[in-house]
């Protein structure tokens, strides 16, 4: 999520907004939220995320740019839906601008710049990590450190210990 331009001013006193971008998978599951940038109609986030999806054909991402409000509910500035099928059709989308649609769908409410790519999972690494986890349980060694929870296909409730797997890259 690179940036947005030409956002509407939601705050009448400052004629600006305090935008952030919410990302949802298939318009239901919240997967990411950028930081809010105060007093801006042209926020530059330069933030990235990785999301695992189970279906290439039935997946779309909803990018919703909102104005942060301290007291009342956040205001939707604009929304764009990007289907994974479209990303696959173009191989990888590198720095593409998408029109944001206003909440009443009557007009363009700014533009959002995104880079999208699909990277297949490397199942061999996931199998190795699962094997290492099983061996660690057998030896009853306690390891502390940050963990990442992964659930893919046949591999369920797999926890990757990032202290032992510093160079572990689950993507090809």
**What pLDDT is attached to residue 116?**
82
In angstroms, the Cα distances linking 122 to 52, 86, 137, 171 are: 12, 23, 23, 5
* Residue 139: φ, ψ to 5°: -85, -5
155 phi/psi in degrees, rounded to 5: -90, 115
Span 59-78, pLDDT tens digits: 889 999 999 998 899 999 99
Query: What does each C-alpha distance from 121 to 105, 125, 170 come to in angstroms?
Result: 36, 9, 6
pLDDT of residue 41: 96
Residue 77 to residues 1, 22, 65, 70: CA-CA distances in angstroms?
Answer: 16, 11, 6, 16
Q: What is the pTM of this model?
A: 0.68
Q: Which residues of the chain have pLDDT under 50?
A: 141-172
- pLDDT computed for residue 10 by the predictor: 93
Give the per-residue pLDDT at 52.
79
Say how far apart CA 32 and CA 51 lie, in whole Å. Answer: 9
What is the pLDDT at residue 142? 47
Cα radius of gyration rounded to whole Å, the chain? 20
Residues 6+ apart with CB under 8 A from 140: none
Q: What ranges in the chain are assigned the alpha helix state H? A: 84-89, 123-139
């Amino acid at each position: 999520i690179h940036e947005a331009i030409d956002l509407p001013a939601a705050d009448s006193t400052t004629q600006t907004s305090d935008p952030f971008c919410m990302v949802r998978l298939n318009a239901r599951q919240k997967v990411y939220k950028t930081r809010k940038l105060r007093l801006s109609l042209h926020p530059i986030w330069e933030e990235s995320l990785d999301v695992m999806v189970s279906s290439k054909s039935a997946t779309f991402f909803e990018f919703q740019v909102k104005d942060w409000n301290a007291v009342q509910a956040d205001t939707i500035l604009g929304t764009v839906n990007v289907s994974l099928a479209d990303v696959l059709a173009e191989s990888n989308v590198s720095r593409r601008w998408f029109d944001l649609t206003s909440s009443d769908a009557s007009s363009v409410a700014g533009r959002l710049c995104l880079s999208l790519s699909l990277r297949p999972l490397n199942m061999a690494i996931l199998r190795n990590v699962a094997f290492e986890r099983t061996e660690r349980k057998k030896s009853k060694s306690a390891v502390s450190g940050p963990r990442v929870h992964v659930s893919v296909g046949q591999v369920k409730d797999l926890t990757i210990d990032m202290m032992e797997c510093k160079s572990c890259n689950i993507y090809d």
